[in-house]
Chain A
Amino acid sequence: MIYNLAQLVAKSASLFPEKDAFRCLDDSITYKELDTRTNQLAAYLIGAGLQKGDRVAIYMNRCLETCIAVHGILKAGGAFVAINPFSPLERTMTIMKDCDIAFLLSTPSQMRKIKAIAKAANFLNTIIGVSEIEGTNTITWEDISSLPLDDYNPPEILGKDLSSILYTSGSTGIPKGIMHTHYSSLSLAKLEVKLHDSTHEDRIGNFAPLHFDQSLFGYFSGPLVGATTVIFPDAYVRLPKSLSALVAKEQITLWFSVPLILTQVLLNGDIDDHDFSSLRWVRFGGEVFPVKQLRELMQKWPHAKFINSYGPSELFRCTYYILEEPPETDDPIPLGTVWGNTEYKILDENDREVTKGIPGELVVRTDTLMIGYWNNQQLTEQSFYKEHVASGYDYVFYRTGDLVVENENNEIMFLGRIDRQIKLRGYRVELDEIEATLLKHEGIEEAAVIVVEKADENKELEAVVRLSKGAEVSTRDLMLFCKKIIPSYAVPEHMTIIEDFPRTGTGKIDRNEILKLLETKVV
């Protein structure tokens, strides 16, 4: 019986030992090799003092070793914390301190930043995957792959054990750590297998980096059925012409990504010059797919079935909507209906269920729900809606913060957020966090960050700030300041310094008015 993630690779290694488990360009690893190499990593970690439940950081760009890192940590009983290697050092340090990281896994391509981390993080026990850093223990991937397995004694792992912490931006400016268990992550993998009828013959296209939970599709549902997961390196994901050639060459059957990658392939990927006949399913999620481009893509790939898949990282995914035919109108695509072992309610601001057709907040109860935010009981409680069932027993729903309405076909339609969180190229961005960051600058008195809709349905962030008296700060200074603290996708593309803000009757910054000014380029 499969009840934890650490069993997945071993199971497929016994059924399909010589089959490629993961591929990345010219690198590949079979299930048998992956089973051995993850055992070696687990043995090393346990030998170095890792205790069950300890958090281990993965600080890697998209490469083959990521699969050894994830499954090796899990076999050792650890929980993996995937950190975006392209985030500022300060954010990396905040996360590592927040969850007491002692072991960090990386690769030589991140050496430049690893040196800076080693210098700043004296609490690290060992950095794995690199060599020769003054004052810090290191061991290379190669050295780990030659370790003996005589004394390997893995711990017993239960479904309720912590498997990962995923950090996402918090509105106060401090990242929050979403805790998932072996049970919630394995439930996700099982539901994804069911959704696509995946088998060992499938080839999964993995376009998301590890710190983005779409990647779990490849890392877990692949090994659950013995499929091959193809990791697409960073350069390919950003250069659509090369990406689409590689997707065709690798004969991908299952695709899951943000809409942006698909529209890039459609617009700049020479889509007519390649053979995509292997594609069975194209799943997209993370943000809204512009209907015009979706229709065009579906017409190019009539043999593939398309699915919109929705859910916040706190519960991975919860709804899906299958498009049988290219959409006829430009009406928004529904989020759809909930998948297995999942139920939902739509609540008004007093937590009462709305009557059908009235908008409200979506709350969801599911097997894939997180257990809470790391080290933040208060935030965890706030994020749950509990329905008392019996003495000492509640149904726990997650408050998605998404405003939805149910249509006449019982499909959930997305209307917007109830707070100021937005999606930008698939990333969750808290406008409050960016404003809080700007206000940390001593030269800034007030700040407002606004989303401006550009042509071709692109969104851009613009910051408008009022400086302190006598402060001499340029917009370039402010840009550099932000880049040191928040990830580059959340740094506003434009900054404007103004004398004073348009204000509402009560003296608050009038964001609607600023938006009008920005759109007409008055400021």
Chain B
Amino acid sequence: MKEKIIAYLKEEISSEPLDDIDINEDLLGSGIVDSLGMMRLVVFLEKEFQKKIGPEDMTVENFKTVQSISDYLTQ
């Protein structure tokens, strides 16, 4: 799951080529994901992992890092 998320972030979201993304890297603070990127990421996650992501789940705890996204999706 984490690999899939990282691959999507690298290929579709980041505006600059990235070597790798650490699973504990702050996605918004480092600039990898901006607000438009966030919306696209949510659409991707819903489709790829068959989970409805409501606005009530859009929190820093759930979306700060690749690790937290993965924890949230598998909970």
Which stretch in B1-9, B22-30, B45-53 binds the other chain?
B22-30
CB distance from A483 to the nearest CB of B (A): 4
- A268-B55 CB under 8 A given contacts A112-B18, A483-B15: yes
Residues of A within 8 A of B27 (CB): 235
Contact indicator A238/B61 (Cβ below 8 Å)? no
Q: Mark B19-41, 1 if CB is under 8 A from A, else 0.
A: 00000001111110011111000
| Smallest CB separation, A409 vs chain B (Å) | 37
**Interface size class of chain B, counting residues whose CB lies under 8 Å from the partner chain:** 20 to 34
- Judge whether A88 and B59 touch: CB under 8 Å: no
Within 8 A of B (CB), among A81-125: 85-86, 88-89, 109-110, 112-113
A113 to B17, CA, bound (A): 11
Given known A-B contacts A241-B56, A488-B15, A235 and B64 have beta carbons under 8 A apart:
yes
Interface of A, secondary structure class, is: helix
Q: A86-B34, A238-B38, A483-B15 are in contact. Are A233 and B29 (CB under 8 A)?
A: yes
* CB within 8 Å: A-B pair count: 66
Take A86-B34, A268-B55, A268-B58 as given contacts and tell me if A61 and B29 are in contact as well, using a CB distance cutoff of 8 Å.
Answer: yes
Task: Decide: A113 and B31 in contact? CB cutoff 8 A.
Answer: yes
Interface size class of A (residues with CB under 8 A): 20 to 34
Closest to A86 in B: B31
- Most central of A109, A241, A483, A489 by chain B CB within 10 Å: A241
Judge whether B18 and A234 touch: CB under 8 Å.
no
Pairwise interchain contact A110-B30, C-beta atoms closer than 8 A: yes
Closest to A268 in B: B55
**Which A residues form the contact surface with B (CB < 8 A)?**
61-63, 85-86, 88-89, 109-110, 112-113, 233-236, 238-242, 268, 270, 425, 483-484, 488-489, 493
Since A233-B28, A235-B29 are in contact, a sample of 4 more A-B pairs with Cβ atoms closer than 8 Å, ordered by chain A residue number, is A109-B29, A112-B30, A236-B60, A484-B16
Of the A-B pairs whose beta carbons lie under 8 Å apart in the complex, a sample of 16, sorted by A's number, is A61-B29, A62-B29, A86-B34, A88-B15, A88-B16, A233-B29, A234-B26, A234-B29, A235-B60, A236-B60, A238-B28, A239-B58, A239-B63, A242-B59, A483-B16, A489-B34
